[in-house]
Amino acid sequence: MEELYEENVGLVYRFLLKNCHSETLAEELTQETFLQAVKNIHKYDHSCKVSVWLCAIAKHLWYQYLRKHAKEIPADVWQFQTERAEEPENLALIKYELLDVLKDLQKLPQQMREVVYLRAMAELSFRDIGEIMGKSESWARVTFYRAKENLIRRREEYDER
C-alpha cells in the first residue's frame, strides 16, 4: 500500500488542488482518499488503472465536501468568473450561456465529457488527464480538441436557429 501511495499521491493531490484551490483542503482530502482506498481495496476490480480509481474516490470526497459545506464555501468557488460579469445583466447572460454549454457538454460521450471536466474545471494537464484515464497524453489532447469542436459546432447550430 505504501508503494501505491508513493506512486499516486502527487497525482491525487494535484487533482484535488485544481478542484478546491486550497492546499490545506487538498492535503486533507488526499489523505482521506487513501484512507478510503485502504478501507475499500476489496472493491477495486482492476477494470481501470489504480490512479483512475483513486481520482474517482477523490472526486467523490470533493463532491461530498461541497455538499456538506455548501453554506461555508465562498461564492467565488461557485460562480463563473469573468471580467464583464460586474454588471448584473451581463452576469445573468453569462449564467445562461454557461448553462447552455453545460447542457451541450452532457450530450457528449462520457470519456469526452470527463476529459473536458478534468481539463476545464480541474485545470489538469493533458499528461495528468491521460494518466487518470489510462490513455496517452496525445489521446487526451485529441479527445479534448474533438470535444471542443463538437461544443463549438453545437453552439453555432444553436445560434443559427
Q: Provide DSSP, 66-92.
A: HHHTTTTS-HHHHSPP-GGGGSHHHHH
Judged against a pLDDT cut of 90, whether residue 139 lies above it is answered with: yes
Judged against a pLDDT cut of 80, whether residue 67 lies above it is answered with: no
Counting residues of the chain whose pLDDT is more than 70, the rounded percentage is 78
User: Chain-wide mean pLDDT for the chain?
Assistant: 79
CA torsion angle 138 142 148 153 (round to 10): 170
Query: What is the average per-residue pLDDT within 123-151?
Result: 90
Query: What is the average per-residue pLDDT within 62-87?
Result: 57
Gap between the terminal Cα atoms of the chain: 56
The whole-number pLDDT of residue 100 equals: 72
The whole-number pLDDT of residue 137 equals: 92
pTM of the predicted structure, to 2 decimals? 0.50
Query: What is the average per-residue pLDDT within 82-110?
Result: 64
The whole-number pLDDT of residue 109 equals: 92
* Residues 113, 101: Cα–Cα separation, whole Å: 12
* Residues 44, 83: Cα–Cα separation, whole Å: 44
Judged against a pLDDT cut of 80, whether residue 115 lies above it is answered with: yes
Q: Tell which wins on pLDDT, 132 or 120.
A: 132
The whole-number pLDDT of residue 45 equals: 81
